[in-house]
Structure 1
């Protein structure tokens, strides 16, 4: 008899945990449907995920980017769903004894999601709380009904239900909840896809005009073909992506607007995408680097960008740089997802090819890289300059406003450091005795690279062959033939920029203003 009771208890507990999971699934499905009607970014998973990113200490973010790369957002979302599933099972078990307490627990998660949604920087209305609230009400109702089927009165024992609880009723209710949840999820995804379709169609309709100032052709001497080396121009599909957006914004270019306003602006501007297409366009090859790039890292790439000179737009708005009596020293760029980046006005207007880019490598910007419009500023790390999905430019001062990353202890101003990287041979490679080509890239955007040197073990520095310089805003490829001898060797590289500054040996972490140090690889020659 005791075994029968234990087995029945185990079955009921398992079903209770399953009921908790089903309640969570129902809650999320309904929330996603409501978010599709209100604003897709207000879904509880995205809201909580965004809040988690905001609250995560910078060193932890750095660790996540270093270890998970572009999969860091997937890992975060998986973690959120895993925690939610564990709590859902716990609430299901709690509901066995206290149905109301279990249902209230689901509602508590709804309150957390609502608070996270309202606290997001892109939240513009109280309606952002609706998906979490309505979803949690649906989940609480499902858990309450399912738990009632598992906690029938003990005097309700029948030949069909010897334990006094309604198996059939539980299964019917669970099946109905599962079907309804699936329907809500499908409908929600359909609505989001329909909205996204307008953005996709607007991008497909874009034909990039011929730039008035085209980029010079890339000389073959600037892009020598060395096995193991990256191409001079990084294909769009291979270009690194580092941002905080859990879901890539899909912006309809026909509805997009950009506002330029703020301190020292005498003629505020409101620009459409067509306004930019009709403007004088420039085309430039520019290497971008993420501040999260470790020594020897892959978060650097070169693309051919097409866009409108940002300085020209600022001049149209009446803005003057600080060196000429301007009132603003910081340009704050805002994205549709609420991200804020702050760039020095002086750098943007000092003659460099800072632009609002609309094209990348001959195509309209990919959604992942900021369609319809993003900022590109040569020589500055992306966290202060490369605002994707930009919709607002405000002129202000560094004293008056701290953008997103500065609030998290990153440096206010972020010129890219002189860096170099060995691309071949790879770490722990086992080349054969004889001539081995050591090769890689070096960059010091807007200053240029004048010298790259390689050292084998503790030997003398040897001058590497530099490929021709395309522009000072792009990386330079370099190579050095090495007569490899048997044994384990350490290969080290350093670069010198056009100002005469030698890349520092001192190792520094990425925070607060970019990593530094010499890149080394260890190989074993056989």
Structure 2
């Protein structure tokens, strides 16, 4: 083993890690996808990484932040595995100790997930055991490159050792890929997609108002008034999408209530359903960002459930709890003030997409998602803000997050080729549950000009706006600001997304020829 090159040793370490990860996948089919080491460790990173790092990830990768995290975790694992391989080439015990340390991390990460039990440690343990075996085979067992069972010329021994080692690498790596993909395929077969397709949503007792003519300006590069499901933003902490069977799903309304409730999915569908257009926004949305969307939601009014449960005096917070343990805290008063806060079961005329909370999620107009839009919800617990901090509050975010008035320029884009003359300037503005009174645009710091507002379904959705600009050649700066129905104009001062949402005027630079 002592003559094994560093390159071969590093490769052996990486292959051993691939074997460990691949072998863990089919085991995780039995224990749950969140117990797979890569996902469990990634989830631990999500929960513990400093908030500025998390915000950097969202800003840099947007809705691909989870993919970036998993890829980054895999690359870090590969680098550590290569180091363990080099250490093992000198002393096998050192490399095996490294694998044991990573196994302990995987076990700890899996066991700290909400709802975990002792069986969730199995994927990391099985994977680590087979990874250690692979490392031994490649560096100390029958596949090591410098094994020489009988005297022969050095060049011949070296060539045969290289073939044996690389053959073993190929076989082990190929096996890891096949087993890993097989486990992933089996996990896919256990998804709830078939159950979702079987759901038939009843017609709403209170249908959504029709979208008024002209609400969608239908301009190229301007987002549509209604966001299709496939294009709706997704920001949450779930590295793997929870698979919740609607037949076994239950909702508990409990805590500081006089009459606790428990409902099945069938119970929920049997209630009078309300359909409404509501625009949801993420608190991580930067000025001019796209972490916002408007959809037609179908669901049961949360107010009705709370009235039935009877909140006790002082229960000023409703904690929505997801199946994976994530929590958000919503003011009880907001959920009972008459706005269309829903336990949603449908989105744009179909059952909720799995990644958007199937079978049931919360939708609350006028609040950022981190305090209101719990996906895969299984509990509504009445408590108080003084007694409980939801997931994001200890991480530096405000306990209550009303949506701030914002506006955005979609047309033109900074990279568009613009020709002098009349140029349409257009975008969207939002002040959910207050409504947008006006939108103004200015060029190069000049006077503000009134834009034309398109009609909207209600104050709970965004609104499109447009303005015709007589553009002259040169470099220009366009800015936009909105005023809500209460007469409050969005401030110019730039504020980051933390702790309760970004502020500032969206500003773009364009070139006109």
1:262 and 2:249 matched: no
1:484 and 2:479 matched: no
1:217 and 2:204 matched: no
Aligned to 2:412: 425
TM-score w.r.t. length of structure 2 = 0.94
Aligned to 1:443: 430
Residue by residue over 1:60-81, the C-alpha shift from the partner in whole angstroms, topping out at 9 and shown as x without a partner, is: 2111111111111111111111
Asked whether the equivalents of residues 356 and 375 of structure 2 are also in contact (C-alpha less than 8 Å), the reply is yes
Aligned to 2:297: 305
Q: Which runs of 4+ in 1 moved over 6 A?
A: 8-11, 151-155
1:25 and 2:12 matched: no
Gaps of 5+ in 1: 1-7, 321-325
For the residues of structure 2 that align with 1:449 and 1:50, how far apart are their CA atoms?
Answer: 38
Q: Which among 378, 386, 390 is matched to residue 403 of structure 1?
A: 390
Aligned to 1:195: 190
Q: Which among 114, 123, 132 is matched to residue 131 of structure 1?
A: 123
For the residues of structure 1 that align with 2:148 and 2:410, how far apart are their CA atoms?
Answer: 72
Q: CA deviation at 1:184?
A: 3.2
Residue by residue over 1:268-324, the C-alpha shift from the partner in whole angstroms, topping out at 9 and shown as x without a partner, is: 11111111111110000011111011111111111000000011011111226xxxx
Which deviates the most, 227-236 or 378-387?
Answer: 227-236
For the residues of structure 2 that align with 1:381 and 1:24, how far apart are their CA atoms?
Answer: 40
Q: CA deviation at 1:489?
A: 1.4
Asked whether the equivalents of residues 331 and 400 of structure 2 are also in contact (C-alpha less than 8 Å), the reply is yes
Aligned to 1:67: 60
For the residues of structure 2 that align with 1:26 and 1:429, how far apart are their CA atoms?
Answer: 48
Residue by residue over 1:34-86, the C-alpha shift from the partner in whole angstroms, topping out at 9 and shown as x without a partner, is: 21111211011001101111112222211111111111111111111111111
Q: Which among 315, 318, 322 is matched to residue 307 of structure 2?
A: 315
Q: CA deviation at 1:108?
A: 1.2
Aligned to 1:144: 136
Aligned to 2:180: 185
1:46 and 2:39 matched: yes
Q: Secondary structure at 1:285's aligned position in 2?
A: strand
1:112 and 2:99 matched: no
Which deviates the most, 94-103 or 281-290?
Answer: 94-103
TM-score w.r.t. length of structure 1 = 0.92
For the residues of structure 2 that align with 1:156 and 1:99, how far apart are their CA atoms?
Answer: 23
For the residues of structure 1 that align with 2:488 and 2:161, how far apart are their CA atoms?
Answer: 78
Which deviates the most, 80-89 or 356-365?
Answer: 80-89
Q: CA deviation at 1:185?
A: 2.2
For the residues of structure 2 that align with 1:105 and 1:151, how far apart are their CA atoms?
Answer: 22
Gaps of 5+ in 2: none
Distance 1:433 1:107, change over 3 A: same
Q: Secondary structure at 1:331's aligned position in 2?
A: strand
Q: Which among 292, 313, 329 is matched to residue 342 of structure 1?
A: 329
For the residues of structure 2 that align with 1:71 and 1:513, how far apart are their CA atoms?
Answer: 23
- What is the RMSD of the two structures over their aligned residues, measured on CA atoms? 2.2
For the residues of structure 2 that align with 1:177 and 1:469, how far apart are their CA atoms?
Answer: 59
Distance 1:219 1:172, change over 3 A: closer
Distance 1:228 1:182, change over 3 A: closer
Aligned to 1:5: none
Report how many residues are paired: 510
Asked whether the equivalents of residues 58 and 511 of structure 1 are also in contact (C-alpha less than 8 Å), the reply is no
Residue by residue over 1:347-386, the C-alpha shift from the partner in whole angstroms, topping out at 9 and shown as x without a partner, is: 1111100000011110111112111111000000001101
Q: Which among 484, 488, 494 is matched to residue 507 of structure 1?
A: 494
For the residues of structure 1 that align with 2:255 and 2:211, how far apart are their CA atoms?
Answer: 39
Q: Which among 265, 279, 285 is matched to residue 273 of structure 1?
A: 265
Asked whether the equivalents of residues 441 and 481 of structure 2 are also in contact (C-alpha less than 8 Å), the reply is yes
Distance 1:164 1:426, change over 3 A: closer
For the residues of structure 1 that align with 2:259 and 2:189, how far apart are their CA atoms?
Answer: 37
Q: CA deviation at 1:187?
A: 4.0
1:239 and 2:232 matched: yes
Asked whether the equivalents of residues 410 and 511 of structure 1 are also in contact (C-alpha less than 8 Å), the reply is yes
Distance 1:211 1:177, change over 3 A: same
Aligned to 1:76: 69
Aligned to 2:243: 250
